[in-house]
């Protein structure tokens, strides 16, 4: 087994241990198909309309049950990748966006982004999130998907130091996210809650190089 496959195996083991879903795919085309299959199977994000908890007329009840259209955010795809992905989304009736995410804060189903690198020992994806659009896509989506070529997996944080330094030492303020598993917190009466401060699910899509 090659060193890359050894790191991929460790990455999978550690990421799954903290609640992430890890899938191994051949290429970006398969990653796009996987993302859209997951989106197809989930219910669309639904806005909680004030008053829907009360007894309402049939017309109002129907309004409260209205589902929003499914939305996928993919802010850090290249122009060519985004064109291909958005075309696939359109075929399935899914809206694809790359900017203006502030207008969809209550209704992004899936956020898709390239990861810059990953740390196998902790199952962590590292993403240059200086772009606000990218930060929003990785934090407010119900499901976040990180696209990760196996060649970008490092065994330890120390081995990834050079790549991280290249991301942050640019002379201007940067924002780098270290993402390990889905969002979780236990600060409310020490009860573990998933998805309070971020996505309910993290899917890591590991690609062959």
Whether the CB-CB separation of 2 and 185 falls below 8 Å is answered with: no
pTM of the predicted protein model: 0.86
Q: What is the mean pLDDT of residues 180-197?
A: 67
Q: What is the mean pLDDT of residues 91-101?
A: 94
Model pLDDT for residues 47-69, shown as the tens digit of each residue: 555 666 667 677 766 666 555 68
Rounded to 5°, angle at Cα 200 from 164 and 69: 110
What is the torsion angle, in degrees rounded to the nearest 10, for the CA atoms of residue 78, residue 109, residue 67 and residue 64? -130
pLDDT at position 36 is 97
Model pLDDT for residues 132-166, shown as the tens digit of each residue: 999 999 888 999 999 999 999 999 999 999 999 99
Q: What is the mean pLDDT of residues 20-44?
A: 95
Which residue segments constitute the domains of the chain, with CATH numbers given? 3-207 (3.40.50.10420)
Phi-psi region of 60 (alpha: psi -120 to 50; beta: other; left: phi over 0): alpha
Q: What is the mean pLDDT of residues 89-94?
A: 96
Tally the residues of the chain: 209
Q: What is the mean pLDDT of residues 173-194?
A: 76
CA distances from 11 to 1, 22, 42, 54, 160 (A): 15, 9, 26, 47, 14
pLDDT at position 89 is 97
């Amino acid at each position: 087994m090659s060193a890359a496959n050894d790191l991929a195996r460790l990455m999978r083991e550690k990421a799954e241990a903290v609640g992430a879903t890890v899938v191994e795919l051949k290429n970006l085309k398969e990653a796009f198909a996987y993302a859209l299959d997951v989106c197809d199977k989930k219910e669309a994000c639904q806005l909680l309309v004030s008053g829907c908890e009360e007894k309402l007329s049939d017309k109002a009840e129907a309004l409260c049950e209205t589902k929003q259209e499914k939305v996928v955010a993919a802010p850090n795809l290249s122009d060519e990748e985004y064109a291909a992905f958005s075309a696939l989304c359109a075929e399935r009736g899914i809206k694809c966006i790359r900017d203006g995410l502030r207008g969809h804060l209550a209704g992004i189903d899936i956020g898709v982004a390239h990861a810059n690198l990953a740390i196998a020992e902790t199952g962590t994806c590292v993403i240059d999130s200086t772009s606000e659009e990218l930060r929003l896509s990785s934090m407010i989506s119900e499901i976040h998907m990180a696209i990760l070529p196996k060649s970008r997996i490092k065994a330890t944080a120390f081995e990834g130091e050079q790549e991280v330094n290249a991301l942050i030492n640019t002379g201007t303020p940067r924002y780098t996210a270290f993402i390990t598993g889905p969002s979780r917190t236990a600060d409310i009466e020490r009860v573990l809650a998933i998805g309070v401060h971020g996505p309910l699910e993290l899917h890591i899509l590991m690609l062959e190089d």
